[in-house]
Amino acid sequence: MNTYKIICFLLFFIPTTVLTAAAQPAALKPVNSDFFTHVKRIANLKVWNEQIFFTISQPDKEKNNYSSALYQLIDNQPVRIAKDVSDYFFEDNGIIFREPGKELARRDNGNSETEGKENPSTAFLKLSHGYGEAGEWLTLPFQASQIEWIGKDVFFYTSSYNRNPDKSRNYHIYDELPFWSNGRGDVSGRRSHLYFYDKGKSTLLSDTLASVSGLKLSPDKKTLVYTLKPAWYGKQPEGNVLISLDLASLEKKEWNLFDKVSYGNLTFLNNDEIVLTANRSIEHDKIENSAIYRLNIRTGKLTLTDDGALYAIGNSIGSDVGGAGRPEITFDNKGIRFITTDVDYAPLVHLAWDGSGITRLSKGRLSVQEYQPYKDGFLAVALEEQQGAEIYFIDKQGNASPLTAINKPVFDEYNIVKPIEIKYTTQTGKKLNGYVLPPANYEKGRKYPAILDIHGGPKTAYGTVFFHEMQYWANEGYAVFFTNPTGSSGRGSEFSDIRGKVGETDYNDLMAFTDAVLAQTDFIDADRLGVTGGSYGGLMTNWILGQTDRFKAAASQRGISSWLTFSNTSDIGYTFTYTYWGTDIWKNSQQLWDASPLKYADKVKTPTLFIHSAQDYRCWLVESLQLYYALQYFGVPSRIIVFENENHELSRSGKPQNRIKRLEEIKGWFDKYLKND
């Protein structure tokens, strides 16, 4: 071939070869243990003058903490306007937020009781139009929690009070029940008081032994409603009461609407009417969703809008990167709008006043976390399929269009596995479903180990949205399967009521689901199954250990091992135990012991890893310690990892480095006992 022909050959073929190579998609990255640190959480979605605002928070692996900032959506792009903002509101023609990371102090030299003592204050900053640097707006000489503003110098607020305020002591004083609370620490003697602030003067409006929450001010700012835990000393009463307060006279009215009730959401429909949620499980002595009522606080007329039998207010779909949304209620002239949980996703729905039922306002399998009415539709922070949270616009036909791509570029770079639906029938004849994540890049004809992941609650649910821990395990060569057994949210009150059947109906569902997964897939090795779960999922993992040997390894996280100890140590022990068993250890200790995983520890053969947090007061550390102790006693391979300065929320909001360590320990345990090829 002569030189001319060689040059022509190269000119013709080389560019084509280069273009072909460039067109090949880059290899997707595996989802690793720190993937969640790349994911941004969008929250506090608000609209002001038709402008869209929200906060973004993100874990920082190096600093081992979380950052948060305030953003505005401008031309569909998030623009940061203030850092270190977790919540905010609009007032005085600007954006107001608490001054970050700063507690001011003052000296009350005129009061002998507080002479020389430092008292924390509450400072607010203001961003005006054009933004730039925020300036001081208001500094209050006290700690204020919830505030309902009438004006800058006139408002209602709550403030924490502690009968044992000396934080420098090296001891704890308990004289009440509960005496501690997960995420809050010691709560014995702690109350939330209601005050009225009027041009520098604060007036206490609640009993010093009562506790106030849920403040809502009417549109005309003349009436305040709130819920109250009546004054107590010793054992805290269950439920609460509803109070309305007239601003002109500061007179209060207690609404005795039901015998025993826990009020939740309070929202003003207009100046005279409120919509409220009321859970009457205590009165009815069963587990049920909250009902929705409409109350006229002038006439006293109470109207039932929905009994909650099918739909509960709020998103119960679990996620370790998104978080559940706020159960907001808004209105139109025909009814109310709220987020609900429907089996395994969370749509936005409309409930008509006239009793004509529920209408879905969002189509598809969008799991809405927050929403705001906007123009002729809605804005929503939502999770969809296996993507991170984004802001969507939902039009009046229910179609959702993403307005942002805050998380999408990250997710598009990684090997995200899509779930496969599995349908099965329970022993009681219920038709349920669940999902399997195949191992990433699995080879047909090859068998892989698999992990059953059990959700917490039990009154929560797994959805089809992204769950980091499952995707991490799938990228490490495991199939991961999960379902919503009887007792979960999303199928109505009757389905979620498993009183007296914990470890029976739900256990049978989980085993039927496991059978269905093995029958309907061809890539799982039935001899290499693992099981894990946290909280209620940890309880069920512990229970499974003593009931079957089909799982070859287990990772029990923050679970219950004995109902006897749980009921007398957990911050919710005596209420939760009664809710799910209808008894206590003095009335029927045998029933609770028979339902305790610890009773069956002598039958356990499964190598088990325990993960717990030292400050977990929901399921106290003793729950893992005593089962670990038993397995060691009986010679079962076991290991326990205790995280200091973490609580029940380790897997969702713990320090980033501890969250990574947790995932890697679970993977390492399963690798040891399930990966024998």
Catalytic residue numbers, as ranges: 535, 648
Helix (H) or strand (E) holding 246: strand 241-246
Residues 6+ apart with CB under 8 A from 415: 28, 29, 30, 31, 440, 441, 475
User: Would you tell me the crossing angle of helices 622-633 and 536-545 to the nearest 10 degrees?
Assistant: 10
Here the tokens at position 152 are 């800058």
| 3-class secondary structure, 214 | strand
Kindly report the backbone phi and psi dihedral angles of residue 28, in degrees, each rounded to the nearest multiple of 5, phi listed first.
-75, 145
d(CA 174, CA 191): 14
Distance CA 210, CA 200 (A): 24
**Token pair belonging to 404:** 């942002």
In the three-class reduction of DSSP (H, G, I as helix; E, B as strand; rest coil), residue 356 is classed as coil
Report which secondary-structure segment, H or E, holds 660. Answer: helix 656-674
The 3-state DSSP class for residue 536 equals helix
Residue (of 255, 232, 237, 257) closest to 245 by Cα position: 255
CA distance 226 to 24: 60
Sign of the Cα pseudo-torsion (394, 399, 402, 403, in order): negative
CA 558, CA 566: separation in Å to the nearest integer? 12
Residue 176 three-state SS: coil
* DSSP label at residue 38: G
Alpha-carbon distance of 279 to 532, in angstroms, equals 31
- Give the closest residue to 400 by CA, choosing from 419, 383, 417: 383
Query: What's phi and psi for 230, nearest 5 deg?
Result: -60, 160
Residues pairing with 659 in the sheet? none
Which helix (H) or strand (E) segment holds residue 131: the answer is none
